[in-house]
Amino acid sequence: MIAAEILKQHEVKKTPARMAMISALQLRQYPMSENEIKELMADLYDRITFYRNVQTLATAGIIHKIVADNTTVRYALNCCEHGHNHTAEHAHFFCETCHAVVCMNQIKIPYINLPAGYKFVDCDVIIKGICTKCNH
Amino acid sequence: MIAAEILKQHEVKKTPARMAMISALQLRQYPMSENEIKELMADLYDRITFYRNVQTLATAGIIHKIVADNTTVRYALNCCEHGHNHTAEHAHFFCETCHAVVCMNQIKIPYINLPAGYKFVDCDVIIKGICTKCNH
DNA sequence: TTATATTTGCAACATTGTTTCATTTGTATC
DNA sequence: GATACAAATGAAACAATGTTGCAAATATAA
């Protein structure tokens, strides 16, 4: 789906910064860091606007934050062309050597049965280890 | 186990800062933030030393970092009196309202079958939602 | 085209994490 | 104990990440 449609569907105003951000996330098959997104957004990137739009788009359910390590925050579209949904559907792999984050589409999030009184919203599964490229 | 024994067992030098840090972590049943630990360490706390010892003690396998949200990093002892091990054994609950982190001892980490070429080290399961105190 | 609420971008700030380096301290050995 | 040496500490300075207030610009509905 085109960025403009995604924004309209979620009732979020269509601005150049948001369009560029969504378009950037559609260019790769993996969750991207702020710097990667920044490169692709070129002059439409502004740090403060970026942080604010991360908040706005995440609340609207358009994007999802993946925190593998506190210094390795990544972002992904919730509903993307790649055939998977980033909201609590699959696990992520974090390489401790190169810090890459890979979607483990075949590893599903388990069913969570919380104790009474707790309200479930989301579940993140982060697998840490060494990726194929770094593992010799 | 007493802090001094833990350090000796893991072949890490016994220093006042490390002793105070481990002792602080033994005082609570939940993963603590830097500020909580700082309070308990009193004048034995130094920010730079703290970060360095987080690194040292984590590498030695004495403590474990729990990153629920990039601005909410918490620390826990791996082998503690509370009858559980923080290394890849149970899930953690993160309250999106009060940012508390609770150990979900009854929710175990699922068995992970990684694709060929990947090396497994650890797995974190973070459940996000609203805790009993914030959920009315 | 106009009105209005929202978004943007700047400045300034706050928090979190890292690096260098001289001084201090822990521990093994005498 | 005293000594030697590697390791840890703490200060300063820096780097990266995230937040807030506010005036100007802009998106959308009428």
Instruction: Note the pLDDT tens digit of each residue in B11-54.
Output: 999 999 999 999 999 999 899 999 999 999 999 999 999 999 99
How many Cβ pairs closer than 8 A exist between chain A and B?
Answer: 100
What is the rounded end-to-end Cα distance, in angstroms, of chain A?
Answer: 39
Report the footprint of strand D: residues with C-beta closer than 7 angstroms: A 7, 13-16, 34-35, 47-48, 51-52, 55, 71, 73; B 12-13, 15-18, 44, 46, 48-49, 52-53, 56, 70-71
Statement: residue B81 has pLDDT above 70: no
* Strands of the B72-77 sheet, one edge to the other: B32-33, B72-77, B63-69
| A68 contacts on B by Cβ (under 8 Å) | 67
Q: Which of the four pLDDT bands, split at 50, 70 and 90, describes residue B83?
A: very low
A87-A89-A91 Cα angle (round to 5): 105
Q: Which of the four pLDDT bands, split at 50, 70 and 90, describes residue B87?
A: low
| Closest CB from B110, B121, B135 relative to A117 | B135
Per-residue pLDDT tens digits of chain A, which is 136 residues long? 899 999 999 999 999 999 999 999 999 989 999 999 999 999 999 999 999 999 999 999 999 999 999 999 999 999 754 444 555 589 999 999 899 999 999 999 999 999 999 999 999 999 999 999 998 8
3-state helix, strand, coil in chain B (%, to 5): 30, 30, 35
Q: What is the DSSP letter of B11?
A: T
DSSP A57-116: HHHHTSEEEEEEETTEEEEEESB-TTS-B-SSSEEEEEETTT--EEEEEEEEPPP--PPT
Q: Rounded to an integer, what distance in angstroms lies between the CA atom of residue B99 and that of residue B85?
A: 22
Q: Rounded to an integer, what distance in angstroms lies between the CA atom of residue B53 and that of residue B41?
A: 13
Q: Rounded to an integer, what distance in angstroms lies between the CA atom of residue A123 and that of residue A64?
A: 12
- Protein-proximal nucleotides of chain C (any atom < 7 Å from a CB): 6-12, 15-20, 25-27
Residue the block writes with tokens 């390590």 = A69
Closest-CA residue of B relative to A126 is: B124
For the CA atoms of A79, A80, A84, A85, the dihedral, rounded to the nearest 10 degrees, stands at -20
Q: Rounded to an integer, what distance in angstroms lies between the CA atom of residue B24 and that of residue B40?
A: 6
3-state helix, strand, coil in chain A (%, to 5): 30, 30, 35
Instruction: Please check whether strand C approaches the CB of A13 to within 7 Å.
Output: yes
Q: Which pTM does this prediction carry?
A: 0.91
- pLDDT at position A87, please? 53
